[in-house]
């Protein structure tokens, strides 16, 4: 109910919810919504402008751009969910353990985290993807490896804050085990900030995945991934504007929607904003 009230009061939050809902529906129903096979080549129809027959026009191989954008939504959401989910699980677990136990274990885990943070996330992902070879799965693996340290740092900071609260000290005083305190008291109170950060981070993951696809290290043709479609369409932008425009607009709206939705969740779960 809280999220419904915030969304109803904030036009930007409502816009973000509508955008994300539309993208998710488009991704789920892409086999039904797409009028053509996104991989079917029809050279007789190549480079046709947007029309009633082809809403977003066709590419240099005669493939329907709208169908490819619709299927690309499924691929982009898959990348975002897997990368953010894996990074949240790995980084959050490391941060919780490091912040709760402290001592030498905290020092070791945080120094490893600092070593990963010393490299820009995109540069590290490019190096990993290039060493493994261009592939959609290698892109997700590379982004996951370069993304988890941020969640580890955030989770550790939340744990250090929660450890000083009175209710946690009371749980320790009545003899609660460390495992029980970590699972039932610390983790739930660190969960909300991590989810908000993950929602805001979803868009950045999509941008970096598209960047890897744009430079040829991500999804490979004929996969209808938005970054790869942008890379393919940049050579035609002066004469056939629709080729890079519609994948770019789809990526822009998706990132914008997740940013607005993340702001709404932050307004709900951050008591300092109330």
Residue 64 β-bridge partners: 58
Q: Domain tally for the chain?
A: 1
For residue 258, being part of any structural domain is answered with: yes
Res 193 pLDDT > 90: no
Q: What gap in Å lies between CA 18 and CA 263, rounded to an integer?
A: 14
For residue 123, being part of any structural domain is answered with: yes
For residue 115, being part of any structural domain is answered with: yes
With bands split at pLDDT 50, 70 and 90, how would you rate the model's confidence at 157? confident
Q: Give me the pLDDT at residue 4, please.
A: 62
Q: If you average pLDDT over residues 40-46, what whole number do you get?
A: 90
Structure tokens at 149: 């340290």
Average pLDDT, the chain: 86
Look up the domain containing 210 and give its range. Answer: 62-273
DSSP for 179-231? HHHIIIIIHHHHHHHHHHHHHHHHHHHHHHHHHHHHTTSSSPTTS--HHHHHH
Q: If you average pLDDT over residues 71-82, what whole number do you get?
A: 92
Q: Where are the beta strands (DSSP E) in 50-164?
A: none
Tokens 């050279």 correspond to what residue?
43
For residue 73, being part of any structural domain is answered with: yes
For residue 24, being part of any structural domain is answered with: no
CA 18 to chain centre: 17
Task: Judge whether 236 and 60 are in contact, CB under 8 Å.
Answer: yes
For residue 27, being part of any structural domain is answered with: no
With bands split at pLDDT 50, 70 and 90, how would you rate the model's confidence at 102? confident
Q: Supply the CATH number for residue 117's domain.
A: 1.10.3720.10
Res 195 pLDDT > 90: no
For residue 66, being part of any structural domain is answered with: yes
Please classify residue 261 by burial: count the beta carbons closer than 10 Å to its beta carbon, then call 0-12 exposed, 13-18 middle and 19+ buried: buried
Q: Mind listing the pLDDT tens digit for each residue in 114-146?
A: 999 998 888 999 999 999 988 889 999 999 999
Task: Judge whether 138 and 209 are in contact, CB under 8 Å.
Answer: no
For residue 100, being part of any structural domain is answered with: yes
Task: Indicate the range of 62-66, 146-150, 193-197, 263-267 predicted with least confidence.
Answer: 263-267
């Amino acid at each position: 109910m809280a999220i419904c009230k915030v969304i109803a009061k904030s036009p930007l939050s409502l816009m973000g919810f509508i955008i994300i809902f539309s993208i998710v529906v488009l991704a789920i129903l892409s086999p039904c919504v797409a009028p053509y096979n996104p991989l079917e080549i029809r050279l007789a129809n190549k480079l046709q402008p947007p029309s009633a027959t082809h809403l977003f026009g066709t590419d240099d191989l005669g493939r329907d751009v709208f169908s490819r954008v619709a299927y690309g939504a499924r691929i982009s959401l898959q990348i975002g969910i897997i990368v953010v989910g894996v990074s949240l699980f790995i980084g959050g677990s490391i941060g919780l353990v490091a912040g709760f136990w402290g001592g030498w274990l905290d020092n070791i885990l945080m120094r490893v985290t600092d070593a990963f943070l010393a490299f820009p996330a995109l540069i590290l992902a490019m190096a990993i993807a290039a060493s493994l070879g261009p592939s959609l799965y290698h892109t997700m693996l590379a982004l996951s490896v370069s993304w988890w340290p941020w969640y580890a740092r955030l989770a550790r900071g939340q744990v250090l804050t929660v450890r000083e609260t009175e209710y946690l000290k009371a749980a320790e005083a009545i003899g609660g085990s460390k495992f029980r305190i970590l699972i039932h008291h610390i983790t739930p109170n660190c969960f909300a900030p991590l989810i908000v950060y993950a929602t805001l981070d979803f868009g950045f993951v999509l941008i970096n995945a598209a960047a890897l696809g744009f430079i040829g290290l991500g999804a490979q043709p004929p996969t209808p991934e938005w970054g790869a479609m942008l890379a393919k369409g940049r050579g035609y932008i002066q004469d056939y504007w629709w080729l890079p425009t519609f994948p770019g607009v789809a990526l822009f709206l998706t990132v914008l929607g997740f940013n607005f939705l993340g702001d709404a969740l932050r307004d709900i779960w951050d008591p300092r904003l109330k």
